[in-house]
A and B are shown apart, each in its own frame.
Chain A
Amino acid sequence: MERTHVTDPEPSPADSHSLSVQRLFVQHQPQLRAFVMGLAPDFATADDVMQEAFLEISRKAAEFALGTNFQAWSRSIAKFKVLAVLRDRQRSAKRLAEDVLEALAASAPLDDDAERHEVAVVRLRTCLEHLAPAARELVRLRYFGEHLPEAIAALRAQSVGAVNVTLSRARTALRTCMERGKAVDSHA
């Protein structure tokens, strides 16, 4: 009997396993990225770490048992990548001491929860709308424009110190705004 020629074979179990692991990475990416940005707050550095972490996670996919704690596993890989990337650019990047980064990594809260993440995103959008227009604009330049305070100061014809103060106050206002909603939730 003539056999049908198959041009598009089913993925092998190994392929489908690494695809599942990559899917987990995609699913958990916002939380992992937040972890990385906590250790390496600079956007470009965090991008590089995420990229390296994705490649390493793809390489090591076979070591991960599906159903076990992906967040813990991916964080341990990401932490090593943060340290490696920061060591590489020791001179150019401002960074905290390695023992402090280790202590921070160990105390990062578990936040592996897309549902709450969604609520936080929605809340932050609202809280941003409530910021004073000048502060709102600075936050936009900092996070959308990805400018550092020096550049923002130049753009806005302000002193760097004034930009620092406005950003710091804006963050406090946003945190207060977001935590107000949370406090009510926990007593619901």
Chain B
Amino acid sequence: MSDLRLSVLVSHHLDGQLPPDEQAELEDVLRRSAGARVQYWREAALHALLHEVENAGALAMPRACLALPRRRRAIAALAAAACVAFSAGAALWSWHGGGAPAPVERTTTAIAVLSRVLDAQWAAPADTHIQGEALAPGWLHLRSGIAQIEFYNGVRLVCAGPIDVHLLSGKEAVLDAGRLSAEVPRLARGFAIHTPRLTVVDLGTAFGLAVDGVHEEVHVFTGRVTLQTASGPVQELHADQAMGVVGDGAPQAMHADRSAFPSAADLERKSIAAQDQIMQAWNQAAAKLDADPALVLHFDFEKESVADRTLRNRAAHGGEVGDATIVGCAAAEGRWRGKQALEFRDQSDRVRASVPGELGAASLVAWVRVDALDHPFNSLFMTDGFAAGALHWQIRGNGSLHMAVSGPAGAPAAQYNFDSPGVFAAARLKRWTQVAMVYDGARLQLTQYVDGQAAGRFPLQGGMALRIGHGELGNWNPASSSDTSPVRNLTGRIDEFAFFSRALSDAEVGDLYRSGSTGIPGDGR
């Protein structure tokens, strides 16, 4: 039978138009010919895909839920149960098809932002805050270090640990213990801080406040404040005046001492000093890394490494592996102040790199800040196209860390997929994370890591060598003649990437995490 004849018969069958004689003809050829069955599935695949594409959106919901009202099935109760079960896994549908939920305006309870954090140790792991975090009303328990809070009305508090401070609202806070300075712009007049014994209401000023057991002090640096004790009259304090109370005693006048309180300038000075130290330590670790004979690519994204659109490969033994090319991508701040990064935000943003040859083992380590999962697949590092041995390292829209290797011709599957679910949940977005992938062809094992810890280990099929060739960081080139391809750019930043031609051990990945994470503000780990 000719391909064309078979194609017509299958088409008739798919449309329910197969008369008995044609049906016998089709069945006969499908029984006899494996080639006909292959062609049948090609036609049938298009049939299913057309139905999916034409119903995009409707199909974003499970068919078991949808089919019912339309077809009026009798087993309504059963199907309703199925729909309930589906909705339990509903998050997985988030990216599916065009079935976006009706737009709902986002809401927030945040009143302030943790604008800077230095050497912070928080009271409890569950109570940890990171630089840049939006703060809703609630307690902050800082054991040591400095944290700067900016209220949305412009009030700035610089808090030195140990301190227990409660943000009540956009214009009120409680200081239970510790030492802070407040700077209140004219527009935010009336901002109040309560301590166990005092209420300080600001009238446009800068002041310091300390609570140490039964001892409390207010120091006014500029402007004026009003001061209310539990029993006494309301008092006004002016610039350079200070007042102290001990227990239930009467307030005592003191000299204002600016140096006794943390200040924004002080925080700035300290963080510049800390930044120099961190950069130095990181530079030493990076230089050691560069000497590794198996290191093929090492991008640090520093200013000195970026010349025009070229990103310098730091690997000392990179050999024929050259520099990368930057397309798009704005410069951005990296893991800590002073560390450079590249930002991927647009579908054009990408860094093109190349790793020649066949690899039996490889390790990829990247420091990334994922801001959002905008696409079904969000690229970390991806070989162009889908040729045999291609490596696709991505984050799926549902937060899974995803690694795929295209199988060689004749392999049972076109592609081998390895998913570590739930890695990029909401809590991990917008914070710097080390991700690593170790492909160990000798031990037939693939391991994915998050912040130095194994997040998933998978057995590998034998005999699959990686062929990277041309690839991209933060995006994907489908290397196809098709005029349309999916958008897979990363939404976020990368500030370091290393590619080894050997399998790193768990301990080595852990060490890289530790040497790279010391400077991350507010992580306290």
Given contacts A37-B44, A41-B14, A109-B41, contact A180 B482 (CB under 8 A): yes
- Complex Cα spacing A58 to B89, Å: 13
Residues 14-69 of B at the A interface (beta carbon under 8 Å)? 14-18, 23, 26-27, 30-31, 34, 37-38, 40-56, 59, 62-64, 66-68
Most chain A Cβ neighbours within 10 Å, of B78, B417, B480: B480
- Residues in B lying within 8 Å of A, measured CB to CB: 7-8, 11-18, 23, 26-27, 30-31, 34, 37-38, 40-56, 59, 62-64, 66-68, 71, 73, 78-79, 82, 85-86, 88-89, 92-93, 376-377, 384-387, 392, 394, 396, 404, 412-415, 417, 478-486
- 19 additional contacts, CB 8 Å, given A22-B85, A124-B50? A22-B88, A27-B92, A41-B44, A44-B67, A48-B67, A50-B67, A55-B82, A96-B23, A100-B30, A107-B41, A111-B414, A113-B413, A113-B415, A118-B377, A142-B15, A148-B15, A149-B16, A174-B46, A188-B479
Count chain A residues whose beta carbon lies closer than 8 angstroms to a beta carbon of B: 73
Q: Output the nearest chain B residue to A37 by Cβ-Cβ distance.
A: B48
Give Cα A115 to B386, complex, Å.
10
Instruction: Return the chain B residue nearest A181 by Cβ.
Output: B482
Cα A115 to Cα B414 with chains together (Å): 11
A47 to B67, CA, bound (A): 6
Across the two chains, which residue of chain B brings its CB closest to A41? B14
* Distance between Cα atoms of A132 and B386 in the complex (Å): 30
- Are B414 and A43 in contact, CB atoms less than 8 angstroms apart? no
Closest CB in chain A relative to B473 CB, distance in Å? 18
A19 in contact with B88 given A113-B414, A125-B53 (CB within 8 Å)? yes
A55 touches B78 (CB 8 A): yes
Per a CB cutoff under 8 Å, which of B66, B376, B485 touches A114?
Answer: B376
Please give the residue numbers on chain A whose beta carbons come within 8 Å of chain B beta carbons, in ascending order. Answer: 19, 22-23, 26-27, 29-30, 33-34, 37-38, 41-44, 47-48, 50-51, 54-55, 58, 94, 96-97, 99-100, 103-104, 107-116, 118-126, 128, 139-140, 142-144, 148-149, 160, 164, 167-168, 171-172, 174-175, 178, 180-182, 184-188
Q: Return chain A residues, CB-CB under 8 Å to B89.
A: 19, 22-23, 26
Q: Is the CB of A58 within 8 A of B27?
A: no
Give me 24 A-to-B residue pairs in the complex whose CB atoms sit less than 8 angstroms apart, sorted by A's number.
A19-B88, A23-B92, A33-B48, A38-B41, A47-B71, A51-B67, A54-B62, A94-B13, A94-B16, A94-B23, A109-B38, A111-B45, A113-B413, A115-B377, A115-B392, A119-B478, A121-B49, A139-B50, A139-B54, A144-B55, A148-B16, A171-B46, A171-B47, A181-B482
Q: A104-B37, A180-B481, A181-B481 are in contact. Are A144 and B88 (CB under 8 A)?
A: no
Indicate if the CB atoms of A110 and B412 lie closer than 8 Å. Answer: yes
- For A143, the closest partner residue in chain B by CB is B54
The chain B residue sitting closest to A164, CB to CB, is: B17
Who on chain A is nearest to B48 by CB?
A34
- B413 in contact with A50 (CB, 8 Å): no
Contact partners of B42 in chain A: CB under 8 A: 175
B contact residues around A33 at 8 Å (CB): 48, 52, 63
- Which of B17, B396, B480 lies in contact with A160, CB distance below 8 A? B17
Counting chain A CB atoms within 10 Å of each CB, which of B34, B54, B78 scores highest? B54
Chain B at the A interface: SS class = helix
Give chain B residues whose Cβ lies under 8 Å from the Cβ of A96: 13, 23, 26-27, 30
A residues in contact with B53, CB < 8 Å: 121, 124-125, 128, 143
Give the interface centre of B15, B62, B78, B482 by most chain A CB atoms within 10 Å. Answer: B15
Known: A26-B89, A96-B30, A143-B51. A107 touches B38 (CB 8 A): yes
Assess the B415–A38 pair: CB atoms within 8 A.
no
Residue in B18, B45, B386, B482 whose beta carbon sits within 8 Å of that of A38 in the complex: B45
Which chain A residues border B414 with CB–CB below 8 Å? Answer: 110-111, 113, 116
* Closest-CB distance, B452 to chain A (whole angstroms): 24
The 8 closest A-B pairs by CB, nearest first: A188-B385, A181-B482, A34-B48, A38-B44, A47-B67, A188-B479, A168-B11, A143-B54
The answer to whether B31 touches A125, judged by C-beta atoms less than 8 angstroms apart, is: no
A122 to B377, CA, bound (A): 13
Complex: A33 Cα to B53 Cα, angstroms: 13
Give the chain B neighbours of A112 by CB distance below 8 A: 413, 417
Question: Smallest Cβ distance from B461 to chain A, in angstroms?
Answer: 13
In the complex formed, the residue of B with least CB distance to A23 is: B89
Which of the residues B52, B64, B73, B413 comes within 8 Å of A54, measured between beta carbons? B64
CB atoms of A126 and B377 under 8 A apart: no
CA distance A49 to B484 in the complex (A): 33
